[in-house]
Structure 1
């Protein structure tokens, strides 16, 4: 016969553990409610019930964290749920097995990232590792709300102090405070939106909390090299000892290509007879083949590399690792920046300069978009303001036509004084 009595704090506290076994003291007030006395001395509250013909036992609270009164009240709630046809243990198991944010990020990496460019995929992994997992990793996918998304993106937009090290060895960096990063917040928001779109597709939740997230204002970076800076850059590249890195910079400037596209260029991609460069889909940001014309100067670089590069290498700029293209020219570019005096210019700004020179040469936005490989016209629109020069000249012509012509004003008194005659309005002398 089970041990039954009305449970009280004294009964639970004074119960003596049995050697080699656990036992229960059942309550007389709530059916199935009991205090379990463990052989090690611990105590917990349980509820025994039957569901679908199976005997089940649920442990829901430990003593003394839970008082007898609180445990009895919880047992009554569970009993009402059971009488209504529910199974508390099954609900707890489903909650325990429910996907969490870490599960979502892992599956997102597995399903979505393989279809992206390597640089883009690595960047999204970094976002999840630095921002999403630390903030939400242990949360259920269904627990994240639109408010949680807004709080996280606001924190990212505020920025963080650079560098991340607690003890940076550079005094200037120690004094550098947090820099706002609204662009980074928008990119993380896009990743979160895409992740939860997959969660909805997989049936992990019914809605997307990041849909329509508030985008921060982005101020596009606009840095174009002047003619003098271009001339100094060309001179510095001609004098550089590293012909390989100098060739990469020259080709970036002459074609407007991304540095990654130039680094991974192969000899077979160039048709020097027709002066064209066919970029394979594996190297372009838009993940599709991009064919562009090249100038005679760019073709001369390719011919020079054919003479310089070891025979049998497919890469226009082979790297130090056999069978691989050059991986990094950051140190070379830093030296060139200091030498030329363009410390604020990135390699990617050469691409913008290429576009600005096209605009000044009369190229249309559609032509610029095709040469740069933009998949959306919206991306090319950033160069539209450079086309103001011909418009400004036309406005200036109208203003010039409307301006009154200057009139020549004669000073009669000065002219008469010069030739000795008296002014017409001078008074007659007295007789």
Structure 2
């Protein structure tokens, strides 16, 4: 067909033939109207890539149907592609790359399968999975990974500002994911879209139980295990509820888990994933094959040994979980509900399970335990981790303050007061 300046009239006049044909534009070389025997019509742009010169085979890019693009819109798109070709770009190759480019959901799956699950511990895998599924995929999952901008990431980060630690962890996971993508050739740039976004300031919260608070907690655990704790709304219970159902109990294994957390200063997963094969009651040791810091030995005190010695053995896990005793048994996943029940009844709202670990350290320092020994009991791999508890050891400073005060008090002629008792 002879070339013509492509307009709406040309489109309307082009009739289908037995074979497909193309009418090219007189103004833009390669811009054409393709007419199919079915009557369908579409806009195309043909070109030779700059790499092959005149000998290169022609390539074709379909711009779209005449039902979706007007002649003027198709012309503008053809002009844009011609400019790209003149600058050395290959639109067809770029379009093919666009079609096969990974989405964020696909990148996340490769990241989890080939990096996180292969190289990280179970707790880390679980943490990454939860963050990706709850916060990253809903916002970015369907988008192409290569198209994710800093603005996209910043929007997620700012959206989690009420929980600074979670916001910063999400930012770090995204950074790690895109670094993985570049190392494995899944993206073309090593600049992660999370780079340059300032983290939120995190307020590290540490709570240490006093002796009286620890006593309250112990009493609540004991009551929950024996007579039970009243439901929060027991006074409003329906007449259809029996007296027996107005209280909640915790089983012996849950009670044992809470007591072991108190007596050992261990991490939650170290207790919930503990197997009987790793318990040496004769020597008073827990021989953990894997923990947050690798292999670890927990030295048990007499109360912890007593708890373990009196516990019913059901299955391979010390704290019986789902399907205990069955081939497919799994460790208990958490203690959220019983912990909420016990702390509410003990009058300790907001107390976290991890605060028991801080409290163990607090009592250890108050008893005169050195930081290196405390670090070994807690399983710290770095001395600086234990050093965070150094400020709790106030006794040496208090003795020095009392000595200085005594001399100054004597100098001004006042009666010397009794020394302030130290915690112990």
SS where residue 321 of structure 2 aligns? coil
Change (3 A) 1:262 1:407: closer
Matched, 1:133 2:137: yes
* Matched residue, 1:100: 103
Corresponding residue to 1:355 among 361, 366, 379: 361
CA distance in 1, matches of 2:151, 2:88: 35
Shift in Å, 1:148: 3.8
SS where residue 370 of structure 1 aligns? helix
CA distance in 1, matches of 2:221, 2:284: 23
Can you give the 5+ residue segments of structure 1 that lack an aligned partner in the other structure?
158-179, 409-431
Matched, 1:154 2:158: yes
CA distance in 1, matches of 2:104, 2:218: 50
Assess if the C-alpha contact under 8 Å between 1:150 and 1:214 holds in 2: no
Assess if the C-alpha contact under 8 Å between 1:3 and 1:24 holds in 2: no
SS where residue 297 of structure 2 aligns? strand
SS where residue 310 of structure 2 aligns? helix
SS where residue 46 of structure 1 aligns? strand
Shift in Å, 1:301: 1.9
Assess if the C-alpha contact under 8 Å between 2:267 and 2:357 holds in 1: yes
Shift in Å, 1:392: 3.7
* Matched residue, 1:206: 189
Once structures 1 and 2 are overlaid, which stretch shifts more, 237-246 or 99-108? 237-246
Assess if the C-alpha contact under 8 Å between 2:22 and 2:34 holds in 1: yes
Assess if the C-alpha contact under 8 Å between 2:33 and 2:41 holds in 1: yes
**Matched residue pairs, number?**
377
SS where residue 112 of structure 1 aligns? helix
* Matched residue, 1:223: 207
Q: Normalization by structure 2: what TM-score?
A: 0.79
* Matched residue, 1:33: 31
Assess if the C-alpha contact under 8 Å between 2:253 and 2:319 holds in 1: yes
Change (3 A) 1:366 1:19: farther
Corresponding residue to 1:197 among 179, 185, 198: 179
Q: Normalization by structure 1: what TM-score?
A: 0.77
Shift in Å, 1:339: 2.8
* Matched residue, 2:310: 304
Larger Rg, first or second structure (1 or 2): 1
Deviations 1:377-427 (A, max 9, x none): 44334323322343244234323322343379xxxxxxxxxxxxxxxxxxx
Query: Equivalences for 1:288-327 in 2 at 5 Å?
Result: 288-305=294-311, 308-309=312-313, 313-323=315-325, 324=329, 325-327=331-333
Assess if the C-alpha contact under 8 Å between 2:17 and 2:36 holds in 1: no
Assess if the C-alpha contact under 8 Å between 2:316 and 2:324 holds in 1: no
Corresponding residue to 2:90 among 83, 87, 91: 87
* Matched residue, 1:273: 282
Once structures 1 and 2 are overlaid, which stretch shifts more, 72-81 or 30-39? 72-81
Change (3 A) 1:84 1:215: closer
* Matched residue, 1:374: 380
* Matched residue, 2:10: 11
Can you give the 5+ residue segments of structure 2 that lack an aligned partner in the other structure?
227-250, 416-424
SS where residue 317 of structure 2 aligns? coil
Shift in Å, 1:79: 4.3
CA distance in 2, matches of 1:396, 1:29: 96
CA distance in 2, matches of 1:257, 1:280: 14
Shift in Å, 1:234: 2.5
RMSD: 2.9
* Matched residue, 2:63: 60
